[in-house]
Structure 1
Amino acid sequence: MATSFDLFGTLVAVDRPADPAAAVGDELRDRGVAVPDDWAAAYAETHVEAPAGAEVPLPAHVSAALRSRGVDAPANAPRRAVVAAFDPAVRTRPGAVAAVTAAADRGPVGLLSNCSVPELVARTLIRSDLDRGAFDATVSSVACGWRKPHPEAFETLAGHLAVDAASLVHVGDDPATDGGVADVGGRFVDVTEAGLDAVADALRRGESLGDLSEDGPCP
């Protein structure tokens, strides 16, 4: 059985900036960028047109927002500012380690995360209690270019795991995004209903996670 996990809100909790625009603006100023007076408005606007479901890396958005106000940021200042603004304090959720470990004993395990910030997924895993080696593949939307629930996100992960996307059982906390696995024939397990401890227990007993899935039992 191939199991995939969402990261943020499912396996870990992180402290996010209360005001992302202000946090990024502060980091830009620290790097010598002349942040426009209406930065909050510029940050909130759409500057990069992308297909539905595609991920726009946050540094690209920030660079475009600055250019829209006539500001050219030096070198890779937008990327460094974004990475610093979202530098995470990480708390591993109860049951997360046990669930991933139990899944690894049953078959390939993947991580699939919506994240527009470069390096954030890797930094989060390093600062968590999770064993990075337990994941056979890690895919973020900023790396693959597609956000859940777009089928391409799940197909990309399945390709890295060398399995059919329809065989994925995806464990997450958001039916609107993680539930997109059903569109490729896979199964969604909602941890807000089942809980990670229940996922771990079912895996240890050799039971199908389909019984925890809102889409019914796995074949």
Structure 2
Amino acid sequence: MAVSVDLFGTLVAVSRPAEPADAVARELRERGVAVPDDWATAYREPQVTVEAGAELPLSEHVREALASRGVDADAETVAAAVRGAFDGPVETREGAETAVAAAAERGPVGVLSNCSVAGLVERTLRRSALDPDRFDAVVASVDCGYRKPDRRAFEAVAGALDVAVADLVHVGDDPATDGGAEDAGARSVLLTDTDLADLPGELEAMGCR
């Protein structure tokens, strides 16, 4: 048995920019990128077509949005700007450390997070009160290529934890995304039904010993 846990909204609370387009524009300008006058429009326009359930890295979208206005920007510069735009304060949720420790007592434990910003999940973990060494795997949708509730996201974290999907318990706060574990063949614990502090008892009740 293995446990995967959602990050944003489950283990940590983070601040997100009220206007993502403006935040990205500011970070681009700080790195010497010429931001188009109609940037807000370009940012909101679809730029790349992806299959259902697939994750598009936000930096790729931003590069294409710039290119649509005749601006050529270096991939690493854009990636750093996007990461800077979304790298806000991190608050570790009450009960998160205890919940992760309880999961780790029962088998391998990992993070499975929807996030289109490369490197942000790992940076958020490092900035939280959680011990990154507690996790046997960290899987972000931007890295595995698929977003929850797509079954391939759950298959990715199960593979990283070296268990079958049927032996995975996924913990999260969003029924629409984290609840997809059930359709993928795993089991789920939703924080709409269970408090994070109650996770140890919930795992035991599920037979995870």
C-alpha displacement of 1:202: 3.7
Query: What's the counterpart of residue 89 of structure 1?
Result: 89
Distance of aligned partners of 1:150 and 1:75 in 2 relative to their CA distance in 1, 3 Å threshold: closer
Query: Could you state the TM-score of these two structures normalised by the residue count of structure 1?
Result: 0.91
Q: Which structure carries more relative contact order (alpha carbon 8 Å, separation 6+)?
A: 2
What amino acid sits opposite 2:73 in the alignment?
A
Query: What's the counterpart of residue 137 of structure 1?
Result: 137
CA distance in 1: counterparts of 2:205 and 2:97, whole angstroms: 18
Q: State whether structure 2 residue 117 is matched by structure 1 residue 117.
A: yes
C-alpha displacement of 1:35: 0.7
Name stretches of at least 5 consecutive residues in structure 1 with no aligned partner. 211-219
Whether contact under 8 Å (2:63, 2:75) holds in the other structure is no
Query: What's the counterpart of residue 98 of structure 2?
Result: 98
CA distance in 2: counterparts of 1:152 and 1:125, whole angstroms: 23
Matched ranges for 1:1-219 at <5 A: 1-74=1-74, 76-203=76-203, 206-208=204-206
How many residue pairs get aligned? The number is 208
C-alpha displacement of 1:209: 6.9
CA distance in 2: counterparts of 1:74 and 1:162, whole angstroms: 37
Whether contact under 8 Å (1:58, 1:116) holds in the other structure is yes
C-alpha displacement of 1:75: 5.4
Identity of aligned residues (%): 61
CA distance in 1: counterparts of 2:76 and 2:33, whole angstroms: 11
Distance of aligned partners of 1:97 and 1:53 in 2 relative to their CA distance in 1, 3 Å threshold: same
4+ residue segments displaced more than 6 Å: none
CA distance in 1: counterparts of 2:106 and 2:44, whole angstroms: 44
What amino acid sits opposite 1:183 in the alignment?
D
Whether contact under 8 Å (1:33, 1:74) holds in the other structure is no
What amino acid sits opposite 2:7 in the alignment?
L
Name stretches of at least 5 consecutive residues in structure 2 with no aligned partner. none
Query: Could you state the TM-score of these two structures normalised by the residue count of structure 2?
Result: 0.95
CA distance in 2: counterparts of 1:26 and 1:83, whole angstroms: 12
CA distance in 1: counterparts of 2:171 and 2:207, whole angstroms: 9
